[in-house]
Amino acid sequence: MRIVKLTQESKNNILENLLKRSPNSYGKFEDAVNNILLDVKTRKDEALFEYTKKFDKAEINSSNVIVSKEEIDRAYTLVDPELVNVIRKALKNIKEYHEKQKQYSWFDSKPDGTILGQKITALGRVGVYVPGGKAAYPSSVLMNVIPAKVAGVEQIIMCTPPDKDGNVYPTTLVAANEAGVDVVYKVGGAQAIAAMAYGTESIPKVDKICGPGNIYVALAKKAVFGYVSIDSVAGPSEILVIADETANPRYVAADLLSQAEHDEMASSILITTSEDIANKVSQEVDNFVKVLSRREIIQKSLDNYGYILVVKDIDEAVDVANEIASEHLEIVTKDPFTVMTKIKNAGAIFLGEYSSEPLGDYFAGPNHVLPTNGTAKFFSPLSVDDFIKKSSIISYSKNALEAIHNDIETFATAEHLTAHANSIAVRFEK
């Protein structure tokens, strides 16, 4: 990995390079995505099944678009029972963590007859997108579905692309069934996002779409925002490690590569106060890359967006980490909890050498759907909050309103909204 001595210039260059990975830079694909969205919105199922035939080579129609109970039962026979058991253990951890996020309606009453409050209501229907392609990610199924279930969403549907024979990945089906998905549809890509956003004869319109996907899926989600809510427009994966001289370079190198293998655009950055650690981590990375199965993807990722930054002290490391606002942030120092208190911007923070990033991806319980590409400065991980909405409650007695009606009328009149003022004034006419 390249080792860079941090200067203002090198920091600016790195930040500029990382921003090239933003979904906002995918403009050349937008026309194709918009054409698909409009076509599905207009022709509904007809267009949906044509695109499934074109892109997935599968003969899908209204009679087989829904995954049957028999297909789900068969999936269990194709998945290793040990993996099913692990999925259930992870599900328990994820559910317990998210149950602590639940919010409840509240009301506050005063002696003068004023009642103010907030009503919490779960979304009615949520659509979860699960990629197909070269790999299946049952962990993403759990992370997207469980917070919606905990929030009390009435119906959760899932869209995932079929293979050419019209089958869905068995692990995806098992995870969906264990998590409590109501219906699974065999459609993928931008056309699936369109179907969930606008509704077709086979697939109902949802209130919110969540879940990862390729560039076309990301742009489709961005385009339909407003017709429905979305979780976020996710960019490529990223990890940032802050390490001092006490860190184990082999562990650090392994953790950096855990994200580099995702994607050629993934970012892996080490910020360290120790030149010795920088050199040792670089050597360990080179050794690992030679033996890991996805070495071509890893190497391209490291060549494009991999850095080892040497800084003068931990405070400078924290400053740079807050500027980058990484999706995953590991702190491997002699006092990680003190360093953590200075972190303002990160999707998920992992403390200590035994809290490696994959622990959060699969098992610990916190959500692995995290803000990317610097958006941790203003976005949070996916949570129960993403699947509820809040209504304000206002109730005043006559006496309570009478005490302040002149103030409201004064305010409304100052804004030249006389009908507003009149709505209050008529209640106190002589």
- The torsion defined by the Cα of 220, 222, 226 and 228, in degrees rounded to 10, comes to 60
Instruction: Report the phi/psi class of residue 180: left, alpha or beta, with left for phi > 0 and alpha for psi in -120 to 50.
Output: left
Amino acid code (one letter) for 179? A
Q: Tell me the CA distances in angstroms from 387 to 81, 213, 221, 311, one per residue in order.
A: 31, 20, 17, 41
Find all residues with CB under 8 Å of 383, minimum gap 6, and list them: 98, 101, 147, 367
Pick the closest to residue 69 from 164, 188, 183, 179 (CA basis).
183
Q: What angle do CA 375, 103, 118 make, to 5 degrees?
A: 100
| CA-CA-CA-CA dihedral for 175, 267, 257, 281, to nearest 10 | -150
Provide Rg for the chain, Cα atoms.
Answer: 25
The catalytic site residues sit at: 327-328
